[in-house]
Amino acid sequence: MIFETHAHYDDEAFDTDREELLLSMQDGGVETIVNIGADVASSKQTLEFCDKYPFIYGAIGVHPSNTNAMTEEDFKWLEETAKKYRMKAGGKVVAIGEIGLDYYWDKEDVTRANQRKWFERQTVLAEEMGLPIVIHSRDAAKDTMDMMKAMNAGEIGGIIHCYSYAKEQAREYLDMGFFFGIGGVLTFSNAKKLKEVVEYLPMDAIVLETDCPYLAPVPNRGKRNSSLNLIYVAEEIAKIKGKDVEKVIEQTKANARRVYRFDT
């Protein structure tokens, strides 16, 4: 069954049918979901999902686009919560994320300096807690890589979420031991660069993700996304790699369990 490594079921897009949708996952072939925090509020809701649904685990963290509002009090909450709820302590927090850099919008109230500050602080926290990191990097390829190398992020490990850079940089992340979150974009007809990256990547470095409610794959492009659509991503990976789709699902599940340290 499918392991979904990156979802946002706290999003208001699911307010009308969240319970019904989540309870349909097992019958739809989705075994495990990791819900990802984007700020303190969504991280708190992620913890509620972890308590309510046996198959949901969580990552807590502050997305770079939300770092303008991040405070020392917020960081203290992340620190205390990670320590209390990480799997080592019997909880279901499996990562710090999503964290990183996003220069796409270049908003005045979300300075690059502030993004870099909280990226570093949250990465250090992950290292201290023995948790992997879930990296968001958009239009910030060089700065992300430079910071990760400076912080020895390869010793922390994690996932490069929604990978969107070239094959050359993928090689560097592979050398660091990172996994690659591959989602609906792979099915788009204009995703030539990503298809080349997936063709290049070894199967033991790929995990499945949706980033739902965003980035629904073909044939549901433009609609609200959910983990039930991951079969289309798995099928596209199977096509590119010349493998059986069930083998892709099995391998990506094993990869997800490894990166999120389910078996340690």
Domains of the chain as residue ranges with CATH: 2-259 (3.20.20.140)
Local structure of residue 196 (DSSP, 8 states): H
Average pLDDT taken over every residue of the chain = 97
pLDDT confidence band for 106 (50 / 70 / 90) = confident
Q: Which amino acid is at 18?
A: R
Alpha-carbon span 22 to 55, nearest angstrom: 10
Which backbone phi and psi does 6 adopt, to 5 degrees? -155, 100
Sign of CA dihedral 138, 205, 35, 126: negative
Q: What is the reported pTM?
A: 0.97
Alpha-carbon span 84 to 80, nearest angstrom: 6
As to burial, measured by CB atoms within 10 angstroms (0-12 exposed, 13-18 middle, 19+ buried), residue 180 is: buried
Q: What is the pLDDT of residues 38-70, one digit of tens each?
A: 999 999 999 999 999 999 999 999 999 999 999
Q: What is the pLDDT of residues 237-253, one digit of tens each?
A: 999 999 999 999 999 99
As to burial, measured by CB atoms within 10 angstroms (0-12 exposed, 13-18 middle, 19+ buried), residue 251 is: buried
User: Tokens at residue 186, please?
Assistant: 């792979």
pLDDT confidence band for 105 (50 / 70 / 90) = confident
Residue 17 falls in which region: left (phi positive, over 0), alpha (psi -120 to 50) or beta: alpha
pLDDT confidence band for 84 (50 / 70 / 90) = very high
Alpha-carbon span 73 to 76, nearest angstrom: 5
**Structural element, H or E, at residue 160:** strand 158-160
| 135 pLDDT more than 80 | yes
Of 109-118, 132-141, 177-186, the least confident: 109-118
| 113 pLDDT more than 70 | yes
| Chain-centre distance for alpha carbon 109 | 25
Residue 264's pLDDT is 67
